[in-house]
Every structure is written in C-alpha cells, then in structure tokens.
Structure 1
Amino acid sequence: MKGLRSIPRVLKINKIDGFKLSLLFNNGQSRIIDIEQFFRDSPSGRKELREQILSNQEIFDSVEVMDTTIGWPGIGIYSKDQNGESVFYSYDIDPILLFKAGTVDEDRKIDIGEKIKSLRLQLGLTQEELAKKSGTSKHYISRLENNKSDIEVMTLKKIIEAGFNKKLSLEIK
C-alpha cells in the first residue's frame, strides 16, 4: 500500500453487512472494518455507547458519514458547551483508527498496475518498449505495475491507446 498522503477521511459508506462496514476513504481506497472486532481491539472510549451500537442491527444500521468519519446520530452524550448550554455529541470514531483497522475491500479494488502488467506481458512487451510507445518512462511503468504511483486518466489513455494499441473505455455502475 502506498503511504497516506493526507489524513484519512471517510467519504462514503459503501455497504453494511452485519457489523462490518465497507468505507470509501479520501485516498480512493475502500476498506472493510469489522466494528465488533474494532471495539474489542480498542478498549478505550465509552463502553456503554459501544454496547448500545452493537445491541441490535437497526441501531447499528443508523450509522452515517459525519464530517470526516462515521458516527451514530442517535448515540452519544450530552455535555455543556462554552456557554453552559447542553449539547448532544454523537458517537463517532477517529477515521485514522478506522483506516488502520480496515482491510482492503477486494470487491471494490481497482488494480490498474496489475492490469497494465498483465496486458504488457500478454503482448510480449518490455516495460521499456511500453514506455517508449506511450511517451512515458520505464521507471514510471515499473512504479505503476508495482502500485507505487497513481495514474491520471489521460496518462492511462496514452498507455492503453498508444502503448497497447487498444481502446480505453471506463464503466461506471
């Protein structure tokens, strides 16, 4: 996995499956987090709130994206703000902890590097030959194939159309 370029933020809940969540993070990666396991492995925090979240599926399913992470809008604590007013704070989880606890969601993984390498080998091209045909460098092709570099769509188009003499098409489901 490439290093984090920024602090992980949750953008979307892809799927809820029991007490497991597939979350889309701001680096484009989707990760599966088993919240039951997460709570067992992270004993800090308010135990009664965690138990409430896991007490039934309907409560758990009320999870939503809150600012940069996930939380449960009906689960939390009341506290006083700086003016002494009572304020409700929903229970949420640090997105860095979620990211670190998760595993790659293989159903949502897009491995461009693997696809490029596989097609290059099928066509009998070296990295250097592909780089020359597509106007990139051997070093860049190597970094792509080893998932050490991101790729822009226009560069992907050059590699596919000029390097492989294929047509690039993207499918959005």
Structure 2
Amino acid sequence: MRKHIKIPRILKINWIKGLSISVVYNNGESRIIDFRSVLLKIGVDENSPASILFNEDEFKKVELENNTLSWNNVEQYITLRHNEKVKVPFEIGADVLLKYSQPEKNDVALKIGRLIRESRMRSGLTQQELAIKSGTTRNYISRIENDRSDIEIATLRKIVETGLGKQLDVRIK
C-alpha cells in the first residue's frame, strides 16, 4: 500500500519587509521566513549567484511559482545531457522554507483565545467544565485560550453557543 506523503505548499505571499516574507501554507498557517538567516544556513555567500538576494530590491522580485518562492532574477543555470545550459529560477523547496520559518501571530486568533478565556471566566466555568459542555477536551480549550491551536468555525460555534451559552457573531470588515 502506498504511503500518502504530505508536501507543504505555499499558497500566498502576504507581505515582504526587508528580507522577510510572510506566506500562507496549505495547512492555513501564516508563517514568517527570515531569508537573511535562510540564505546563510543554506550556504549562500558573496560568490553565489543567489547573493543578489541580500539586496532588498532584488529580493522583492520574488514570485510564487509551483507553490514555492522563486526568483527569476538570479543568474543560475543547469546543464542538460547534451551540454546545453538552461537558465532556471532560484527556488528553495517549501518544505525547507517551512523548517526555517516561524508562525506569524494572528491578531484574530489571539483575540478569539482571549475572548473565550474571558467569557469562560465570567461564566464561572473551568476549562474542564467548558470542554464537557461543548464536547471537546480541556487540553483543546487550553490550547485555544493560549493561542496554540487554530479553531474551525463549527468548533468555535459549539464552544461559544453550546459551552458558553452565548451567540456567535462573525464579521468580515
């Protein structure tokens, strides 16, 4: 039986600041990649064609291609079988980028965790009591309140409406 391999993919570039990029992965997580450290860790030095990426103007020419970050402005070539040289973009695999990235703190997620904790405490409930009422676990409630877990809308509704006895109102501004 074949094993299903999950390969991380980058779906979107959120922003670029200096040599850092915020991206969204296919698991829904936004992560920040500090390319100054990534380039140094993978051995890019002043003799490498990719060293131009230490220049912020050149770095900003990044594009999202095949679910990873790609720079066509790096003079990089591969040699084919018949000694034909072909220019290729500079890319670092999304899996390597995931390894060197940090989670981006999401203001919405931070607010949701804080709101659930405050509402739970105002209601006089422990995490265990809220978990039992909403059909989750105390550990999951703790992870949400401490911003260590994402939450699906259906689960949020269950915690808010069934567990806390409140009404969920979601808005997009």
TM-score interval w.r.t. the shorter chain? 0.7 to 0.9
Of stretches 41-50 and 67-76 in structure 1, the one that deviates more from structure 2 is: 41-50
User: Letter of the aligned partner of 2:125 in structure 1?
Assistant: L
Structure 1 unaligned regions, length at least 5: none
Of stretches 93-102 and 163-172 in structure 1, the one that deviates more from structure 2 is: 163-172
Question: Percent same amino acid among aligned pairs?
Answer: 34
Q: How does 1:1-173 map to 2 (within 5 A)?
A: 6-43=6-43, 48-55=48-55, 57-81=56-80, 87-107=86-106, 110-111=109-110, 112-113=112-113, 115-134=115-134, 136-137=135-136, 140-146=137-143, 151-173=151-173
Task: Map Cα deviations across residues 90-118 of structure 1 (whole Å, 9 max, x no partner).
Answer: 10112122112122222557245554344
Does the Cα contact within 8 Å between 1:19 and 1:60 map onto a contact in 2? yes
Structure 2 unaligned regions, length at least 5: none
Residue 12 of structure 1 and its aligned partner are, at CA, apart by: 1.0
TM-score, scaled relative to structure 1: 0.76
Counterparts of 2:117 and 2:23 in 1: how far apart (Å)?
28
Residue 10 of structure 1 and its aligned partner are, at CA, apart by: 1.2
TM-score, scaled relative to structure 2: 0.76
Task: Map Cα deviations across residues 120-152 of structure 1 (whole Å, 9 max, x no partner).
Answer: 223211234323433x14xx2422422576543
Count matched residues.
165
User: Letter of the aligned partner of 2:160 in structure 1?
Assistant: I
CA RMSD of aligned residues (A): 3.0
Residue 72 of structure 1 and its aligned partner are, at CA, apart by: 0.9
Counterparts of 2:70 and 2:170 in 1: how far apart (Å)?
33
